[in-house]
Amino acid sequence: MSRRARIRGALAFLCLLYGAALLAGLIAPYPYAEQHREFPFAPPTRLHFAHLQPFVYAWAPDQAGGYREDASRAYPAGHLSGVFFPLGTDAFGRDIFSRLLYGGRVSLFSGLLAAFLSLALGLLFGVVAGFFGGWPDRLLMRAGELVMALPWLYLLLAVRASLPLHIGTIQAFLLVVAIIGGMGWVRPARLIRGVALSGRERAFVQAARGFGAGPGYLIRRHVLPLTAGVLVTQATILIPQYILAEVTLSFLGLGVGEPVPSWGNMLAEARQYHALVSHPWLLAPGLALIPVLLAFLVLADALLESPEP
Amino acid sequence: MRSLRTTGTIAATALVLATLLPGAPSDLMVAPGITGRPGGTLVFSQRNEPKTLNPVLAGDNASREVIHRITADLIHINRATQQTEPALAKSWRASADGLHYVVDLRRGVSFSDGHPFDADDVVFSFQAYLDEKTHSPQRDLLVLAGKPMCVRKLGQYKVAFDLPSRYAVAERLFDGFAILPRHILERPYREGKLAQAWGLRSPPAEVVGLGPFRFKQYVPGQRIVLERNPYYWKEDESGMRLPYLAEVDFVFAGTEDMQVMRFQSGESDILSRTSARNYVALEKDHERRGYALTDAGPGLEYSFLFFNLNDPPPGSLPEVAGRQSFLRRASLRRAVSLAIDRDAIVRLVYLGHAAPLPGPVPLGNKAWVNAKLPQPVRSVAHAREILAADGFTWSPRGALLDAGGKRVEFSIVTSSGNAERVQMATLIQDDLKSLGMDVHVVPLEFRSLLDRVLQTHDYDACLLTLAAGDADPNADMNVWLSSGGNHLWHPAQKAPATPWEAEIDRLMRRQMVTPKYAERKRLFDRVQDILMENLPLVPLVSPDILVGARNGLGNFRPALLDHYTLWNIEELYWRSAAGTRR
Amino acid sequence: MKFLARRLLHGLALLTAVSFFSFLLAQMAPGDFYSELRNDPRVSPETIAGLRAQAGMERPLLARYGAWVRSSLRGDLGYSLAYQSPVAPLVWERMRSTLLLTGTATFLAWLIAVPLGIWSAAHRGTWRDGFSRMVLAILLTAPDLLLALAMLILAAQTGWFPVGGEASRGTPPLYDLAWHMALPVAVLVLGLAPALARHVRASLLEVMDSPFALSARAQGIPRRRLLYRHLLPAALNPLISLFGFSVGTLLSASLLVEVVMGWPGLGPLFLEAIMARDFAVVLAVVMLSAVFLLVGNLLADLLLYRFDPRIRTVDQ
């Protein structure tokens, strides 16, 4: 596939996913918090066809503690009535497919926003360090090393514990974004610094300086455009990393709280032994992650390749 | 020739006489109704690693699990009957006023290195526990009414304990106080280094105790190996010395999932206290894998939701104080209790392996549960009536407002490390929506949670699980007394804040010194009634004790008190040679 | 050599900063080691106060920091409240376990990744390359945690591998160790190798498309010699940085895997110490990790200095 086709394909796929997550309210069959307490850990509902019309059977509990299809209760596939679970249910009978969509909002967008924050900080620090050099450069680079060496678990525990208990969902979401994004500026900053450094040394920049151009103008006109390429490729690398970081934070209880789903806290539920052995459909968010991350990977690869002549 | 023979005869006679002299025959304890065959290894996997083998300072469960297998106490609480029985103490007598206990020790007992045991060891041990400079967490058990107990030696095998005030069940206090070897630990104690003694890296020859096993080896990060103590002072009815097992291996699994996996794959022999979900997942495979799972019934653990009833100083914690305006209303707490679907909790969180709690005493504590308390019934309609009668109203969109028009919105903090508690909180959150309450579930890391509840009081409601230390209510005095540090909803009060708390104080103090069980039960029943009338805590459920053991393990009798599976480790044995390990 | 001296000095400064900030952060986390004892109704507040005073928790922050610095310089890394024993031997033996795991995994990962990356770059554009890249991409994106759990389930259900631990009894030592290490190493390698292979491929490709490579090809230099004599050395720069990074993260890369798979290394010790607020252990592990990071960076810088002439002209 040509480079351009790959870029377009990956972007389209990602837009589709992000769009689906945004429109979760319209697409999802159930609200994310709706519990169906009669159907905990129900497996995905099987779709049957009669005369090309899809329908489903309700689940009924069986002896072994699982479920079997109850042939006496059939419903057309569009009729909800608490029986149609495309990806099964969790411990409280909440529809996993709906939660996957709503959860995508948190996970996909926290990755996006956190990457934006990291890149913004990285751009700021990198340009300052690279363009001005001298002590701002040394200071920022040393600070970067410090940031990478500190034990962040303590900071996270401390921050979470000292917050008021009542942080709403939005604030919790933004907090997660801020923490992840705020810690990850070092790598982009280093790369941007390199770009700014080499930009500064270029002949025409030096010439412009000779003409009396101030640093602000030089940065805006000459250095910033050079950083565009780095920023874009870094974005495609950082976003998936941050999506995974949100998963990790949710394991530690530092993500959004119940009942709001995120792929992270859904996976946290699934990672226990009994879930993996008896209810593997709980791993749906993990499986959903893979195509998302793959798409970013393809995009990053394609962007990094030099364009065809 | 002849002189030699005479010497020999004299020597032989002396020897025979010596064994017949008083004090020399050993009072071995006979374990009734037990048989078994000697040999074999038991592998037990622990979730966390033990940190020390020092009985005086051990604070975590994993360390205690190992320590109690290599040490013994004077008077032991039999985990099956939940009553006291003689251990290293052969018999004891209480004085008429209940202030003095005279204890007769077993004779002819030796430590695991062969050194004889006598009253000096007992006096030394209690001296170490009571010494303030040692800071033993167990010291407070021996402090009654602010004054410590005294120990006196009355004879080589006789010790007296002087209590500063009457205490109804003083004999239960002795369970768990491991008797230390004076010949090993007195020196470190005098040098002030008792805390450093018996760390995991100590040479096995130094770790000497009176338990059924003795310390053999520690492999860091992996296992502790115990071997049979040949000097153990119990035997079975046929005269065979206990324990039957030759070796016990404590391996460190790290997480509950790993424990379960190791048990399932046959790498460990006993699964002690697992969660209901893992239990059910394991049940599917048990025939093929050769193990049996047991549900021993509700234990001494109980979950409850309690509310912040502290009096914050004016100006501090304004938000908490604001929410207390409705949290303090007993009607709200009663409505919460009525709206909670405990059956759903039992069914969804514990998969049926739990029981709803009618009162603040766990169901496994049959001797002290107030049987007259009504079973909890769920009625959202009734809850709404109670709220309406107390001035609560509902907004057009269904949100609950208190008498002042304030929205009823609060958060429940719970421990993030425990999946079951978070699940319970999630179910409760959904239940309370039907009343129009807006509840947030906030899982916090355990120490942060304790800090908030016990120190800063910056929370609204909390969902916790408590495990009663002993069946007897005296173990939880600090929870029920308003001045207690563990009076969760309002700890360390200088004077009781409410009349009902004052009444509870009075009743608890009386039952502490009342000698007869029937009278004490009556008093404690009244305490439970008062608690259920005022509901500072809303009892939820009491989970069952779920254990498993490999087929072929004999005398496996799970108990409802800690230690659920190893309390009778000296009686455990492997039925067939196939069950024994290399 | 002035370069070396300056880097060492700067490294020491960094270590000091790390230690101070870690101290500060540890103080900010609420609760302390004895919080759990407070929850036990049978223990009195006086006992807890006594224990806290004994551990020196009541002293002001700077005093405690100063004491810690002084004792560390003497080699005494403090006292673990949980284990009631000195920290240094505790951390030392766990470190050995971790290094065994990560060392082996890193070595194997590089062993696999470099040839794979070279092959992939050499065969760029063929369907074999595309296929291998797909497989690598999937492995790359599968979360470490799920991989570890999947391996564990495999071990538990089939019984081919032990579930956790470093050694069992009754089996010959070397074979036993390898048997226990197999799964954790596999998970680590699966996590490390794909990314490395991609980096090798990317840096080779960059060089392959550069003017000097194209001109060398035009001059007719055979492909293999071109690859190994000319391109690979030029592509070394980013690889050396990566190597430094590998060395630097030898202690921290396996934390999650160790915890989930039950390998008795620094990971579980560190996590438990954080949850229990066992100060001294946490600080010791953090400092050790920082030292490794510094050594890794220094090693990378030294190697770059030696092997990449372009660096020598730019001496900041």
Cβ–Cβ gap C25/A155 under 8 Å? yes
Q: What is the dihedral of CA C215, C220, C225, C231, to 10 degrees?
A: 10
Which sign, positive or negative, has the C-alpha torsion C152, C155, C156, C161?
A: negative
Contact flag A149-C143 (C-beta cutoff 8 Å): no
Asked if C249 and C190 sit in the same domain, the reply is: yes
Closest by Cβ to C82, choosing from B51, B220, B469: B51
Q: What is the arithmetic mean of pLDDT over B111-127?
A: 94
Give me the residues of B, 380-409, that contact A with CB < 8 A: 409
Chains that touch A (3 or more CB pairs under 8 A): B, C
> How far is A35 from A259, CA to CA, in rounded Å?
10
Do residues B157 and B105 touch, judged by C-beta distance below 8 A? yes
Which residues, at least 6 apart from B28, have a Cβ–Cβ distance to it below 8 Å?
B106, B108, B233, B234, B235, B241
* pLDDT of B8 above 80: no
Type and span of the H or E element at B186: helix B182-190
More confident residue, B419 or A209: B419
Give me chain A's average pLDDT, please: 80
DSSP three-state, residue B481: coil
Contact (Cβ atoms closer than 8 angstroms) between residue B438 and residue B407: yes
pLDDT, tens digit (0-9, with 9 covering 90-100), for B194-205:
988 999 989 999
Residue C69 belongs to some domain of the structure? yes
Is the pLDDT reported for residue A308 higher than 70? no
Average pLDDT over residues B136-146: 85
Among B89-98, B326-335, C32-41, the least confident range = C32-41
Structure confidence at residue A201 (pLDDT): 73
At C308, the pLDDT band (50, 70, 90 cuts) reads: low
In terms of pLDDT, which residue wins out, B22 or A244? Answer: A244
Sort strands B537-539 and B301-307 into parallel, antiparallel or unpaired: antiparallel
Question: Which of B135, B199, B219 minimises the CB distance to C83?
Answer: B199
Closest CA to A141 of A152, A125, A153, A157: A125
A267 pLDDT band, cuts 50/70/90, is confident
CATH code of the domain in which C141 resides: 1.10.3720.10
Domain boundary among C74, C105, C126: C74
Q: Is the pLDDT of residue B117 over 50?
A: yes
**pLDDT, mean of residues C106-120:** 89
| Winning range, highest mean pLDDT, from B164-173, B550-559, C210-219 | B550-559
Interface check for C208 against chain B (CB to CB < 8 A): the answer is: no
With contact defined as beta carbons under 8 Å apart, do C96 and B222 qualify?
A: no
Which is more confident, B579 or C64? Answer: C64
Name the least confident of A45-49, B88-92, B210-214. A45-49
Question: How high is the ipTM of this complex?
Answer: 0.79
Structure token pair of residue C161: 């591998």
Asked if residue C136 and residue C220 are part of one domain, the reply reads: yes
- Specify if C85 maps to a domain: no
Q: Does A154 touch chain C (CB under 8 A)?
A: yes
Residue C56 at interface with chain B, using a CB cutoff of 8 Å: no
Could A273 and B261 be called an inter-chain contact, meaning their C-beta atoms sit closer than 8 Å?
A: yes
Q: Are residues C204 and C173 in the same domain?
A: yes
Mean per-residue pLDDT, A25-44: 87
How many degrees, rounded to 5, is the angle at CA B382 between CA B376 and CA B383? Answer: 80
C73: left (phi over 0), alpha (psi -120 to 50) or beta: alpha
Task: With cut-offs at 50, 70 and 90, classify the pLDDT of residue B343.
Answer: very high
Alpha helices for A72-168 (secondary structure H) = 96-127, 134-149, 152-162
* Residue contact B485–C38, C-beta within 8 A: yes
Q: Give the pLDDT score at A64.
A: 67
For residues B377 and B334, give the distance between their C-alpha atoms in angstroms, rounded to a whole number.
Answer: 12
Q: How confident is the model at residue B22 (pLDDT cuts 50, 70, 90)?
A: very low
Q: Which of C30, C39, C84 is nearest residue B196 as measured by Cβ atoms?
A: C84
Mean residue pLDDT across chain C: 80
Query: Would you say residue B580 has pLDDT above 50?
Result: no
Same-domain check for residues C105 and C69: no
Distance from C-alpha of B538 to C-alpha of B566, rounded to nearest angstrom: 33
What percent of chain A has pLDDT above 90? 8
Q: Are B504 and B527 in contact (CB under 8 A)?
A: yes
Q: What is the mean pLDDT of residues C255-269?
A: 83
Distance CA A83, CA A101 (A): 18
Residues C60 and C174 occupy one common structural domain: no
Contacts of residue C259 in chain A, CB cutoff 8 Å? none
Looking at chain B, which subunits does it touch, using at least 3 CB pairs closer than 8 Å as the criterion? Answer: A, C
Q: Residue C80: inside a domain, yes or no?
A: no
Of C46, C74, C102, the domain-final residue: C74
| Mutation site, C169, C263, C272, C281, interface B, largest B CB count within 10 A | C169
**A65–B280: do the CB atoms touch at under 8 Å?**
yes
Chain B residue numbers with beta carbons less than 8 Å from the beta carbon of C35 are 447, 450-451, 454
pLDDT at A153: 64
pLDDT confidence of B54, banded at 50, 70, 90? very high
Name the β-bridge partners of B407: B401
A259, with CB counted inside 10 A (0-12, 13-18, 19+), is buried
The C-alpha atoms of residue C57 and residue C46 are separated, in whole angstroms, by 14
The C-alpha atoms of residue B537 and residue B361 are separated, in whole angstroms, by 12
pLDDT of residue C236: 74
Residue B137 is nearest to which of C43, C83, C276, comparing CB atoms? C43
pLDDT in tens, A170-191: 777 787 788 778 888 888 888 8
Residues C102 and C57 in one domain: no
SS3 C72: helix
pTM reported for the whole predicted model: 0.84
Size of interface A-B (CB pairs under 8 A): 85
Same domain, C60 and C113: no
Q: Which domain holds residue C255?
A: 93-315
More confident residue, B378 or C173: B378
Does residue C138 fall inside a structural domain? Answer: yes
**Average pLDDT, whole number, for chain B?**
88
Tell me which residue of A198, A207, A208 sits closest to A216, measured CA to CA.
Answer: A208
Residues B367/B474, Cβ–Cβ less than 8 Å: no
Rounded alpha-carbon distances, angstroms, from residue B28 to A203, B31, B90, B233: 98, 9, 9, 5
Domain boundary among C74, C102, C120: C74
Q: Is A150 on the interface with C (CB under 8 A)?
A: yes
C197 and C140, same domain (yes or no)? yes
User: Residue A284: is its pLDDT beyond 70?
Assistant: yes
C311 pLDDT more than 60:
no
| Count of pairs with CB atoms under 8 A, one residue in A, one in C | 85
Q: How far off is chain C from A73, nearest CA to CA, in Å? A: 36
* Same domain flag for C64 and C203: no
Give the pLDDT confidence score for residue B24 in this predicted structure: 43
Of B341, B411, B422, Cβ closest to residue A166: B411
Mean pLDDT within A112-125 = 91
B454 touches chain A (CB under 8 A): no
Q: What is the pLDDT of residues B380-430, one digit of tens each?
A: 999 999 999 999 999 998 899 988 888 999 999 998 778 889 899 999 999
Name chain B contacts of C39, Cβ cutoff 8 Å: 450, 454, 486
* The one-letter amino acid at B376: P
Quick check: B445 and A161 in contact, CB under 8 A? yes
Phi-psi region of B84 (alpha: psi -120 to 50; beta: other; left: phi over 0): beta
pLDDT of residue C315: 45
In whole angstroms, what is the distance from residue B235 CA to residue C163 CA? Answer: 37
- Residues with Cβ < 8 Å from A58, sequence gap 6 or more? A69, A70, A73, A74, A75, A83
Q: Indicate whether C33 and C106 sit together in one domain.
A: no
Q: List chains adjacent to chain C, taking adjacency as at least 3 C-beta pairs closer than 8 Å.
A: A, B
Min Cα distance A77 → chain B (Å) is 27
In chain A, the residue whose alpha carbon lies closest to the alpha carbon of B258 is A273
CB-closest option in C31, C42, C167 to B450 = C31
Cβ–Cβ under 8 Å, residues B174 and B74:
yes
Cα C118 from Cα C237, distance rounded (Å): 15
**Which of C28, C142, C293 is facing A158, going by the closest CB pair?**
C28
Question: What distance separates the 2 farthest-apart alpha carbons in chain C?
Answer: 86
Residue C4 falls within a domain, yes or no?
no
- Tell me which residue of B165, B188, B179 sits closest to B209, measured CA to CA: B179
DSSP H or E run through C297: helix C279-307
Phi–psi pair at A89, nearest 5 degrees: -125, 170
Torsions phi, psi for B162 (to 5 deg): -105, 120
Cα atoms found within 13 Å of the Cα of residue B204, Cβ hemisphere only: 15
pLDDT confidence of residue A309: 47
Interchain contact C185–B (C-beta under 8 A): no
Question: Does residue A240 sit at the C interface (CB-CB below 8 Å)?
Answer: yes
| CA-to-CA dists, residue B187 to A172, B181, B331, angstroms | 56, 11, 61
Q: Are strands B409-415 and B461-467 parallel, antiparallel or unpaired?
A: parallel
List chain B residues with CB under 8 Å of C160. Answer: none
| C-alpha–C-alpha distance, residues C188 and C185, integer Å | 5
> pLDDT exceeding 70 applies to what percent of chain C?
93
Q: Which of B323, B470, B290, B294 is nearest to B400 (CA)?
A: B323
Query: Do C46 and C144 sit in the same domain of this protein?
Result: no
Q: How far apart are CA A222 and CA B425, in angstroms?
A: 56
Distance of CA C151 to the CA centre of its chain: 21
Model pLDDT, residue B159: 94
How many whole angstroms separate alpha carbon B179 and alpha carbon B75?
Answer: 11
* Nearest-neighbour CA in chain A from B426: distance (Å): 7
Which residues 248-287 of chain B have a CB within 8 Å of chain C?
249, 251-255, 257-258, 261-262, 264-267
Cα separation, B6 vs B2, in Å, equals: 6
- What is the identity of the amino acid at B33? G
Contact criterion met (CB < 8 Å) for B416 and A272 = no
Pure H helices in chain A: 3-22, 24-27, 96-127, 134-149, 152-162, 169-183, 186-201, 203-210, 215-218, 224-251, 263-270, 273-278, 284-304
Distance CA B383, CA B329 (A): 13
pLDDT band at B460 (very low <50, low <70, confident <90, very high): very high
Beta-carbon count within 10 A of B504 CB: 23
Highest mean pLDDT among A152-161, A167-176, A261-270, C304-313: A261-270
The residue type of C195 is A
Q: How many domains does chain C fold into?
A: 2
Whether C53 is in a domain gets the answer yes
d(CA B339, CA B434): 8
Least confident of B44-53, B280-289, B395-404, B522-531: B280-289
Judge whether C257 lies within some domain: yes
Q: C187 and C97: one domain? A: yes
CA distance readout (Å), A128 to A195, A241, C14: 11, 25, 22
Residue C55 lies in a domain: yes
Q: Residues with Cβ < 8 Å from A262, sequence gap 6 or more? A: A103, A106, A107, A110, A246, A250, A255, A256
Distance CA C250, CA C247 (A): 5
The per-residue pLDDT for range B363-377, each reduced to its tens digit, is: 888 889 998 999 999
Q: Measuring CA to CA, which residue among B527, B518, B515, B519 is closest to residue B477?
A: B527
